[in-house]
Structure 1
Amino acid sequence: MVKVRTEDLLNQFQLELLAGEDGIHREIFMSDISRPGIEMTGYFKYYPKDRLQLLGKTELSYFDDLTSEQKRNRALRLCTDITPGIVITRGMDIPEELVEACNKSGVPLMRSPYKTTRVISRLTNFLEAKFAPFTAVHGVLVDIYGIGVLITGQSGVGKSETALELVKRGHRLVADDSVEIRQEDYDRLIGTAPPLIEHLLEIRGLGIINVMTLFGAGSVRSYKKISLVINLEIWDQKKTYDRLGLDEDTMKIIDVDVPKATIPVRPGRNLAVIIEVAAMNFRLKRMGVNAAEEFSERLTTMIEQEKSTLDMDLD
């Protein structure tokens, strides 16, 4: 599991560290962020002390109205041994009682110059991405006309060679051989390449090639949302393949069902062009244009017309 520490937030968002420097290596265990408003009144029964705490204008305004003794009490109770940190927004002045409590307990006290809602949004997005469910899939991920296409299949079926042809046709490589996938939302899968093989492509007979060096920076991407899976398999004459495209298959990756198409491979078939057209057809379907359904409707209409003509002739 990925480990996230308070120090990562300092580096990522250029937060100002004001106190509790000894605790910057504290680990953050969840993406939820707490705004301890009711705790400022003294009610700590359900205080989520293991979350990152965020104090905005409302919380600090209430804090300023408390007595000195109440301020020290609230500050000490906010700072526990498992609290990963406290973030102050809007660049506001920090109460001295809170600084003392953070230094005493080793809770990092950080400040951001931005508005509270913006800070919450950025911190949440960062932590959600870090804690997202993760898996790795054997395949190739290519950005084709803005559609993230994951090409899968048995080893040696021609995935990397097809990806190379797609790159030559102007599309962008994301990952070859191993695709690291994170589920950043309930229906959003983001694919990236492992750092060791980023921008690299393995072609049997040639070895490892650097796609960015050969074809330029426009030929690669660091990450891409996976929208379509293309499975390549050796042509099996005994198997019946979909010829109309009415049947929609899916592949489950983590908790998301991704549309999947199976393309049989045999000599003479231009896989790059077929996958390119599959991506374009997928885009059309998302825009409401389905060629298979249109053909089915035409066929149904023609059959009904023929049937009506035949009935009239019989009458």
Structure 2
Amino acid sequence: MRKPQPFRRESIRVEAMVTRLRERVGIDLEVGGIGPSERKVTTRHVLRPGLVLAGYTEHFESARVQILGNTECRYLAWLGDGAADAFSTLLSFDPPCIILTAGNRLPDGLAALADNAGVPLYRTPRPTVPFMGMLRDVLTDHFAEQLTVHGSLVDVYGIGLLLTGAAGIGKSEMALDLVERGHRLVADDVVMATRTGTGILMGAGTDLAEHFMEIRGLGIIDVKAMFGVRAIRYQKRIEVVVKIHPWDENEEYTRIGMVTETEPILGVDLPIVKLPITPGKNVTVICEVIAMNHLLRHYGYDPAEAFTERLRKRIESKEGRAVGRGVDWFERDFE
């Protein structure tokens, strides 16, 4: 079976970008030009073209979305009759679109120049810096590196556990058991992993499968319809990989947990727990313990290190006595 390869989107239509922005902020079409559907954005970076308006065009990144805030708009108004030439210089590079922030408007006649050049012009009441942050979030997510992972992603006590393993080993059954115990399903069978700009790995399901699950011998079930909205999530950070496989006598399994193994996914090193399954083993409870143990380590407590430190102190004390009871005497409790 061919291993899935990471992929990135190469472009986004201006129309699609604006649609996503409308869901977050108020962005209105000022001049349509030739229509935003004909134009594409090919980079996640944005630019405020103040130097270009001033006449310096060397190293100008014209493929970026151009943002005109208070400074740029007031500069054009200050230019007076020279504003048309300055704005025409910007339009000559054919940027994908121009967005006016903070409720600004262009001086008279400049909007018509954009219309004639076929460059879509938008306006939003949002301040420049917050709006640019939102726009970067939209573009960064769109152009982020993605990978299709075969497995189940479940939110267990706030920790995203990615259950992986061979087909038919029981990943979906484990995820279903965790949901029945009050945890939340993110995706089953196919997990879309996306690396964010901060090096965090996010996971989500596909738009087709959503929160449907295939249980061998039973068929397709709808987790949301069966367990309610409390049992699902649409996205979750992937924090621990749980690799499920049959018990192998030749495999080296962690007994103490002093060495943490990792598995890279899209360049992000995630801690991995190899979980062998045998008849009668309650793997669902073990998954809960994996999540809680990860929480303990996150908050600075490592059980393996605590036990090792206790053992070290016993050895250094040179008491020379064997391991005894955990209590010096029994209280009057004979249950």
Question: Hey, what does 2:73 align to over in structure 1?
Answer: 60
Determine if the alignment matches structure 1 residue 119 to structure 2 residue 126: no
Deviations 1:67-92 (A, max 9, x none): 31x21111112124641100001112
With over 3 angstroms needed to count, the CA separation of the structure-2 counterparts of 1:229 and 1:80, relative to structure 1, is farther
Once the 2 structures are TM-superposed, how far is the Cα of residue 186 of structure 1 from its aligned partner?
3.9
Query: Partner letter of residue 173 of structure 2?
Result: E
Question: Hey, what does 2:224 align to over in structure 1?
Answer: 212
- Secondary structure of the residue aligned to 1:96 is coil
Pick aligned residue for 1:45 from 36, 55, 58: 58
Determine if the alignment matches structure 1 residue 149 to structure 2 residue 161: yes
Pick aligned residue for 1:275 from 239, 262, 287: 287
Gaps of 5+ in 2: 1-8, 322-335
Question: Hey, what does 1:312 align to over in structure 2?
Answer: none
Deviates more, 1:228-237 or 1:77-86: 77-86
- Secondary structure of the residue aligned to 1:299 is helix
Instruction: Please tell me whether the aligned partners of residues 134 and 182 of structure 1 are also in contact (alpha carbons under 8 angstroms).
Output: yes
Query: In 2, distance between residues paired with 1:102 and 1:307?
Result: 86
TM-score in terms of structure 1 length: 0.94
Determine if the alignment matches structure 1 residue 255 to structure 2 residue 263: no
- Secondary structure of the residue aligned to 1:22 is coil
Instruction: Please tell me whether the aligned partners of residues 49 and 80 of structure 1 are also in contact (alpha carbons under 8 angstroms).
Output: no
Question: Hey, what does 1:189 align to over in structure 2?
Answer: 201
Deviations 1:210-260 (A, max 9, x none): 000100011011111111111001001232311111110011001110111
Question: Hey, what does 1:265 align to over in structure 2?
Answer: 277
The count of corresponding residues between Structure 1 and Structure 2 is 309
Deviations 1:153-199 (A, max 9, x none): 11111111000000000000011111011101242011011111110
Instruction: Please tell me whether the aligned partners of residues 133 and 183 of structure 1 are also in contact (alpha carbons under 8 angstroms).
Output: yes
- Secondary structure of the residue aligned to 1:13 is helix
Query: Partner letter of residue 75 of structure 2?
Result: Y
Once the 2 structures are TM-superposed, how far is the Cα of residue 2 of structure 1 from its aligned partner?
5.6
Deviations 1:7-36 (A, max 9, x none): 123222232111143140210001111001
Instruction: Please tell me whether the aligned partners of residues 10 and 42 of structure 2 are also in contact (alpha carbons under 8 angstroms).
Output: no
Query: In 2, distance between residues paired with 1:81 and 1:131?
Result: 23
Question: Hey, what does 1:11 align to over in structure 2?
Answer: 19
- Secondary structure of the residue aligned to 1:31 is coil
Instruction: Please tell me whether the aligned partners of residues 75 and 97 of structure 1 are also in contact (alpha carbons under 8 angstroms).
Output: no
Once the 2 structures are TM-superposed, how far is the Cα of residue 3 of structure 1 from its aligned partner?
3.6
TM-score in terms of structure 2 length: 0.89
Query: In 2, distance between residues paired with 1:76 and 1:82?
Result: 10
Identity %: 39
Query: In 1, distance between residues paired with 2:92 and 2:153?
Result: 45
Instruction: Please tell me whether the aligned partners of residues 151 and 230 of structure 1 are also in contact (alpha carbons under 8 angstroms).
Output: yes
- Secondary structure of the residue aligned to 1:232 is strand
Query: Partner letter of residue 133 of structure 2?
Result: S
Query: In 2, distance between residues paired with 1:238 and 1:49?
Result: 58
1:92-241 to 2 correspondences below 5 Å? 92-241=104-253
CA RMSD of aligned residues (A): 1.6
Deviates more, 1:17-26 or 1:104-113: 17-26
Instruction: Please tell me whether the aligned partners of residues 80 and 107 of structure 1 are also in contact (alpha carbons under 8 angstroms).
Output: no
Instruction: Please tell me whether the aligned partners of residues 148 and 224 of structure 1 are also in contact (alpha carbons under 8 angstroms).
Output: yes
Instruction: Please tell me whether the aligned partners of residues 73 and 105 of structure 2 are also in contact (alpha carbons under 8 angstroms).
Output: no
Instruction: Please tell me whether the aligned partners of residues 2 and 130 of structure 1 are also in contact (alpha carbons under 8 angstroms).
Output: no
- Secondary structure of the residue aligned to 1:197 is coil
Gaps of 5+ in 1: 310-315
Once the 2 structures are TM-superposed, how far is the Cα of residue 96 of structure 1 from its aligned partner?
2.5
- Secondary structure of the residue aligned to 2:136 is helix
Query: Partner letter of residue 57 of structure 1?
Result: N
Query: In 2, distance between residues paired with 1:108 and 1:233?
Result: 55
Deviations 1:35-75 (A, max 9, x none): 0111121111222111100010011111111131x211111
Query: Partner letter of residue 7 of structure 1?
Result: E
